[in-house]
Structure 1
Amino acid sequence: METRTQDGLTFRTAADADVPELVRLVESAYRGDASRAGWTTEADFLEGQRTDEKGVREVIETPDSVLLVVEREGELVACCQLQHRGDHAYFGMFAVRPVLQGAGLGKVIIAEAERRVRELWGAREMRMTVVNVRAELIAWYERRGYRLTGETSPFPYGQERFGVPLRDDLAFVLLVKDLD
């Protein structure tokens, strides 16, 4: 996959050497006190890990999957997973360094992700799942053209690999955007 620079950001495919730093980025964006510096924290309803080195390597090694690394001035500032799933692409593992959240990076990154899945796989639709209690995050995606489908899937309670829930009402909601 190409390396591309846009708006002072460099986009490239993750390599195995990136794994430890990617784990730190994802964890800092979603869990623990460090995540509270940004607005995407899940620390109020999930403890424990968001991902681990094994999980990140699986994303990198999965066929028809790309873990997109975003750097600014050589520093890793964000990442996202793109996966080809038949007639659509899946967008996941989106993380922006907490101190940089709210500065417009997310808009640029998601636009690049959408461009890439159209170009790479001819995807006509992007899908993602978001934890149902993340109203502000769901609203952010809706402002980018994603829509709630009404479909939900259960949260993997009891699988600490995905975190330790602090509430018993968690589920994932499906959001979809037409890319035509």
Structure 2
Amino acid sequence: MSLSSPLSFRTAVIADVPSIVSLVESAYRGESGMRGWTTESHLLDGRRTDAESVAGLIERTGNVLLLAEQEGTLIACCHIEQQGKVGYFGMFAVSPVLQKGGLGRTLLAKAERVASDEWRCTAMHMTVIEQRAELIAWYERRGYRLTGEFKPFPYGQERFGIPRREDLRFVCMSKPLDEVAA
């Protein structure tokens, strides 16, 4: 599959949960995650998400799991949440075999437009594991800036992964959505 076929975007429904979990796991964990550049396998073991967590996001008001599909196949996803005048961006996953082709940039821009145009949010926030310097730089090239704030990693909660080191924490990033092209 290549990005030459048309992309379609839609909001996830409960029937999509198994495909979403599979995609997220493939992008961040295990051997398949090693094929892409988004893997966290050097930092975390265990699962990245589970069916219960994904279903909870789909069912919760003010949340959207945005899916990108090509030829009927799920190839990327992200979670966006309305938090007042701010959108929160997370659970971003692109199929490892399609990474570095512009799909992630396209999906991120779509998520920003949803937050800006549909929810009238003025900014998008996110957290990234501090040790993911390459990923932080990728977001910075898309207009996100480090806020100087940090959040602790949820040690002891295996549903977020099993840390392979003891110094993990999240950096907070933000982007004003007035920079988003309509």
- TM-score bracket, normalised by the shorter chain, equals over 0.9
Partner-residue secondary structure (3-state), 1:44: coil
* 1:9 positional shift: 1.0
* 1:158 positional shift: 0.5
Of the candidates 16, 19, 22, which is equivalent to residue 17 of structure 2?
19
Identity, in percent, stands at 59
Of the candidates 23, 41, 48, which is equivalent to residue 43 of structure 1?
41
Partner-residue secondary structure (3-state), 1:40: coil
Match of 2:69 in 1: 71
C-alpha distance after superposition, 1:100-147 (max 9, x if no partner): 000111111111111111111101100000000000000000000000
Which consecutive unaligned segments of at least 5 residues does structure 1 have? 1-6
* 1:8 positional shift: 1.8
Which consecutive unaligned segments of at least 5 residues does structure 2 have? none
Match of 1:52 in 2: 50
- Partner Cα distance (2:11, 2:146) in 1: 29
| TM-score, length basis structure 1 | 0.95
Count of matched residue pairs = 174
- Partner Cα distance (1:50, 1:80) in 2: 13
Amino acid at match of 1:158: G
Amino acid at match of 2:7: L
Partner-residue secondary structure (3-state), 2:38: coil
Match of 1:144 in 2: 142
Match of 1:85 in 2: 83
* 1:23 positional shift: 0.2
Match of 2:153 in 1: 155
- Partner Cα distance (1:53, 1:124) in 2: 31
The 4+ residue runs of structure 1 with deviation greater than 4 A are none
Amino acid at match of 2:21: V
| TM-score, length basis structure 2 | 0.94
- Partner Cα distance (2:139, 2:74) in 1: 23
Of the candidates 149, 172, 175, which is equivalent to residue 174 of structure 1?
172
* 1:33 positional shift: 1.0
C-alpha distance after superposition, 1:77-108 (max 9, x if no partner): 00000100012000000000001000111111
- Partner Cα distance (2:135, 2:54) in 1: 22
- Partner Cα distance (1:100, 1:122) in 2: 31
* 1:173 positional shift: 0.6
